[in-house]
């Protein structure tokens, strides 16, 4: 089977890039796999692809940033999509040409705007699968409206959690489109797992507000006061760096909390710790949670939508605490810091339970999805049976009407606000 991924920019850094490379590498064991990057801005990708996975780009910004068509707004890529300003008439043209000539059996989009291209431009002979790496709730109403118009032309849509798949089935009108949860995978660790003896808590990810590293640092202050030989290491880079540095200094934690910068791969850093930590307000999946568990670390995480509760079994392989609750986060960390036996027992359970996110099980699920969709298409059977009957359709229409109203209201506000701000 020939499988082609279409991704925004394979030469950057991010969770979607990581999981796309991971899945492509695992699929390459038995299939012909390529990754096609819409944009390219550097010579080499940050993540080295498997030699068996072909990598190429459609628009090379090193040479084509000033291309006349790149200065014109995109017409296919939806304007409500977060990355819209990076797309253009040139990307519309290149993506369209690529999809028209594609020879793959399965083509997989990796973000909503690219999925719209797949739905509208990929030939019918190709199985078209859209991936959702955020969540439906995370998208603004205007984008949800655009997706309702385009997504019925897809064959399947995958989300990274069961909760988000349920949202798509309940809130979108996608008759005949198979919606299924397909979690991200993390490669099998190459290093020996953590043994739970290091007095180190490890967190990793982009230093952005939604990750709430400020909350984690504040929650670690009582840990450092009670156990001054314990350390918190935070890996990553981003806009919050300077503010977090000031917070560490204000709390007098310069001997206990360290901003370590970006590390790739992270495995070597996870195994130096004994506890993983995540304090996000929102987490579509929780890739770093799985990475930490696969390295033998129990993870203390906020129970935020959507991913952590589908990864961590509270009290067994980690702890889930309420979002924004600094005291609960601190108490959960202290529980594991002070109890060596509990920490090691949870670490072993984390490593065992994390295996369900290994490439093998995830790839088997992906292959089953591909095979069943191809088989249904070839036999003329529906890709997915109808669920919920009329009640589901009516419910979907109510959500569609609500989003349309929100989108219209947003458009009106955008029209009114400049006038109100202007001079009269």
The SS3 of residue 212 is coil
Each residue's pLDDT expressed in tens, for the chain with a length of 424 residues: 999 999 999 999 888 998 999 999 999 999 999 999 999 999 999 888 899 999 999 999 999 999 999 999 999 999 999 999 999 999 999 999 999 999 999 999 999 999 999 999 999 999 999 999 999 999 999 999 999 999 999 999 999 999 999 999 999 989 899 999 999 999 899 999 999 999 999 999 999 999 999 999 999 999 999 999 999 999 999 999 999 999 999 999 999 999 999 998 899 999 999 999 999 999 999 999 999 999 999 999 999 999 999 999 999 999 999 999 999 999 999 999 999 999 999 999 999 999 999 999 999 999 999 999 999 988 877 776 545 443 444 445 566 666 655 555 444 334 434 433 333 3
Same topology between domain 2-185+364-408 and domain 200-357: yes
Superfamily per CATH, domain 2-185+364-408: Glycogen Phosphorylase B; (3.40.50.2000)
Q: Where are the alpha helices (DSSP H) in 198-276?
A: 213-226, 241-250, 267-270
Task: Tell me the two tokens of residue 22.
Answer: 């991971």
The CB density around residue 290, as the number of other CB atoms within 10 Å, is: 25
CATH number of 200-357: 3.40.50.2000
Domain ranges of the chain: 2-185+364-408, 200-357
Task: Tell me the two tokens of residue 217.
Answer: 């640092």
Non-local CB neighbours of 109 within 8 Å, separated by 6+ positions: 6, 115, 117, 118, 128, 129, 130, 131
Instruction: Give the chain's end-to-end CA distance (angstroms, integer).
Output: 64
Distance CA 25, CA 345 (A): 32
Non-local CB neighbours of 278 within 8 Å, separated by 6+ positions: 203, 205, 211, 216, 286, 288, 289, 299, 300, 301, 302, 308
Going edge to edge, which strands form the sheet with 275-278? 257-261, 231-235, 200-204, 275-278, 299-302, 318-321
């Amino acid at each position: 089977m020939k499988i082609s991924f279409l991704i925004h920019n394979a030469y950057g850094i991010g969770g979607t890039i990581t999981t796309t490379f991971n899945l492509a590498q695992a699929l390459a064991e038995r299939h012909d796999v390529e990754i096609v990057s819409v944009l390219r801005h550097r010579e080499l990708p940050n993540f080295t692809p498997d030699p068996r996975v072909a990598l190429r780009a459609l628009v090379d910004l090193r040479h084509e940033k000033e291309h006349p068509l790149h200065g014109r707004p995109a017409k296919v890529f939806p304007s409500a999509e977060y990355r819209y300003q990076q797309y253009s008439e040139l990307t519309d043209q290149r993506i369209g040409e690529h999809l028209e000539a594609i020879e793959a059996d399965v083509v997989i989009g990796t973000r909503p705007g690219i999925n719209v291209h797949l739905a509208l431009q990929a030939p019918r002979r190709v199985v078209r699968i859209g991936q959702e790496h955020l969540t439906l709730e995370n998208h603004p109403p205007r984008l949800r409206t655009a997706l309702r118009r385009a997504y019925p032309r897809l064959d399947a849509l995958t989300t990274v959690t069961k909760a988000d798949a349920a949202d798509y089935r309940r809130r979108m009108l996608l008759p005949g489109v198979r919606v299924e949860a397909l979690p991200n995978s993390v490669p099998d660790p190459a290093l020996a797992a953590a043994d739970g003896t290091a007095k180190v808590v490890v967190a990793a990810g982009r230093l952005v507000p939604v990750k709430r590293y400020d909350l984690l640092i504040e929650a670690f202050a009582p840990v450092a006061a009670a156990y001054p030989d314990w350390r918190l290491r935070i890996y990553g880079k981003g806009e919050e760096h300077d503010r977090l540095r000031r917070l560490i200094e204000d709390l007098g934690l310069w001997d206990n909390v360290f901003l370590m910068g970006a590390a790739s791969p992270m495995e070597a850093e996870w195994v130096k710790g004994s506890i993983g930590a995540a304090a996000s307000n929102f987490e579509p999946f929780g890739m770093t949670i799985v990475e930490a568990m696969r390295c033998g670390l129990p993870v203390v995480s906020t129970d935020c939508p959507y991913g952590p509760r589908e990864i961590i079994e509270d009290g067994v392989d980690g702890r889930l605490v309420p979002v924004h609750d600094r005291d609960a986060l601190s108490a959960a960390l202290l529980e594991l810091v002070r109890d060596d036996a509990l920490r090691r027992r949870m670490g072993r359970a984390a490593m065992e339970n994390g295996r369900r996110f290994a490439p093998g099980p995830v790839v088997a699920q992906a292959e089953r999805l591909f095979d069943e969709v191809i088989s249904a298409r070839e036999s003329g059977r529906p890709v997915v049976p109808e669920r919920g009957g009329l009640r589901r359709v009516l419910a979907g229409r109510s959500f569609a009407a609500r989003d349309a109203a929100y989108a219209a209201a947003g458009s009106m506000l955008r029209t009114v606000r400049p006038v109100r701000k202007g001079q009269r």
